[in-house]
């Protein structure tokens, strides 16, 4: 029943793509069948994460520019409410980005709401898989690296780029452990700032292989996204990782992460916190936590 839509999406029909993403977001009837009929696709997914203000959107903008210049087609999913890719952004950003919004080889979709589990977006896995059915060479997903979302992005992306900025020398020490673990590539952005080199040096020390799950050394790329320097090196590093067979070894791990998250969502589906509270309140003093919880298994 989704054959027509899928065919149009494969042929590059952006309107159908946009509409179908909304179907998934809204869980329209039979959307699960659509997901099951998605073709197997290996479109590389590049995750860009890091703290707010690190320059992720500016970097994505610069990456799009490079890729488009190379005749590539790019889809961008943005789960950053503060991002200029979101239409609510400042007028200046909108003007800058409008170049890409109207570009035939670029598709940008913002996903504003956060997941019920406090994660990225309740349907980001499904939406990125739908995008893979469309004729894009790369999918870029920008997310804010706070909390839970770090883990989720790793399950989603073939290569995870963590963007940080040079701060006082000891900032690296306090960098969230979560960000350390997920990075395939570290970008030290705003390298036009003083102390960028010192920061890179400290970061490199922190990233000694024994600290991370990586078998090989994590690359560190210095960029200044707003000056568009270092972007070539970043893209090279990303493409090298995508081509590296060791990233294929991650496939099973990535799929496990995805499956785990989707099962988690499915299992939690009919669990309404407000209703839990009502039940607990009405039980009053008689409430037995473990009896209650066991009732759900």
Ligand X SMILES: Nc1nc2c(ncn2[C@@H]2O[C@H](COP(=O)(O)OP(=O)(O)O)[C@@H](O)[C@H]2O)c(=O)[nH]1
- Residues at the site binding ligand X, with contacts judged by CB under 6 A: 50, 52-58, 80, 82-84, 189-190, 192, 224-226
> Closest separation between CB of residue 283 and Mg ion, Å?
45
Q: Which residue's CB is nearer to ligand X, number 5 or number 57?
A: 57
Shortest Å, Cβ 176 to ligand X = 15
Among ligand X, Mg ion, none, partner that 65 touches (CB below 5 to 8 angstroms by kind): none
- The only residue of 80, 126, 152, 257 in contact with Mg ion, by rule CB under 5 A: 80
In the complex with Mg ion, the residue whose CB is nearer, 48 or 207, is 48
Interface residue with Mg ion, options 31, 56, 111, 223 (CB under 5 A): 56
Query: What does 189 interact with, of ligand X, Mg ion, none (CB < 5 to 8 A by kind)?
Result: ligand X
Q: How would DSSP label each residue in the chain?
A: --HHHHHHHHTT-HHHHHHHHHHHHTT-TTHHHHHHTPPP----EEEEEESTTSSHHHHHHHHHHHHHHTT--EEEEEE-TTSTTSTTS-HHHHHHHHHHHT-TTEEEEE--SPPTTSSS-TTHHHHHHHHHHSS-SEEEEEEE-STTHHHHHHHH-SEEEEEE---SGGGGGGS-HHHHHH-SEEEE--TTSTTHHHHHHHHHHHT-GGGSS-SSPPEEEE-BGGGTBSHHHHHHHHHHHHH-HHHHTHHHHHHHHHHHHHHHHHHHTT--HHHHHHHHHHHGGG--HHHHHHTT-
In the bound complex, which residue of the shown chain has the CB atom lying closest to ligand X? 55
Residue 202 is a binding residue for Mg ion (CB under 5 A): no
Q: How far is the CB of 216 from ligand X (least distance, A)?
A: 26
Q: Name which position in 20, 57, 149, 160 contacts Mg ion (CB under 5 A).
A: 57
Nearer to ligand X, 106 or 225 (CB): 225
Q: Using alpha carbons, select from 242, 193, 178 the residue that is nearest to residue 55.
A: 193
225 binds, among ligand X, Mg ion, none (CB under 5 to 8 A by kind): ligand X
Please pick, from the candidates 5, 83, 110, 202, the single residue that binds Mg ion as defined by CB under 5 A.
83
C-beta of 113: minimal distance to ligand X in Å? Answer: 18
Q: Are 83 and 89 in contact (CB under 8 A)?
A: yes
Using the rule CB under 5 A, give the single segment among 79-87, 178-186, 248-256, 270-278 that binds Mg ion.
79-87
Nearer to Mg ion, 163 or 220 (CB): 163
Q: To 10 degrees, the CA torsion angle through 6, 9, 14, 20?
A: 30
Nearer to Mg ion, 37 or 82 (CB): 82
Instruction: Please report, as ranges, the residues that interact with Mg ion according to CB under 5 A.
Output: 56-57, 80, 83
């Amino acid at each position: 029943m989704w054959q027509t839509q899928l065919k149009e999406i494969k042929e590059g029909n952006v309107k159908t793509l946009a509409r179908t993403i909304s179907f998934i977001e809204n869980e329209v009837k039979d959307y699960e069948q659509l997901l099951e009929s998605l073709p197997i696709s290996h479109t590389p997914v590049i995750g860009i994460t890091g703290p707010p203000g690190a320059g992720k959107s500016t970097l994505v903008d610069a990456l799009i520019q490079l890729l488009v210049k190379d005749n590539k087609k790019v889809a961008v999913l943005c789960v950053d409410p503060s991002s200029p890719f979101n239409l609510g952004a400042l007028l200046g950003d909108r003007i800058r980005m409008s170049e890409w919004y109207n570009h035939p080889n670029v598709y940008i979709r913002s996903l504003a709401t956060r997941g019920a589990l406090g994660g990225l977006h309740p349907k980001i896995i499904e939406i990125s898989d739908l995008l893979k059915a469309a004729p894009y060479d790369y999918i870029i997903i920008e997310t804010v690296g706070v909390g839970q979302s770090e883990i989720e992005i790793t399950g989603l992306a073939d290569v995870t780029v963590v963007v940080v900025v040079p701060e006082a020398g000891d900032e690296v020490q306090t960098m969230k452990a979560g960000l350390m673990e997920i990075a395939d590539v570290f970008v030290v952005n705003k390298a036009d700032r003083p102390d960028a080199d010192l920061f890179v040096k400290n970061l490199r020390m922190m990233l000694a292989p024994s600290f991370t799950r990586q078998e090989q050394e994590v690359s560190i790329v210095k960029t200044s996204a707003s000056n568009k320097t270092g972007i070539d090196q970043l893209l090279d590093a990303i493409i090298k990782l995508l081509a590296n067979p060791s990233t294929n070894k991650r496939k099973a791990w990535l799929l496990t992460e995805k499956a785990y998250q989707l099962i988690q969502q499915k299992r939690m589906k009919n669990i309404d916190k407000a209703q839990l509270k009502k039940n607990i309140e009405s039980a009053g003093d008689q409430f037995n936590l473990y009896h209650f919880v066991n009732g759900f298994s």
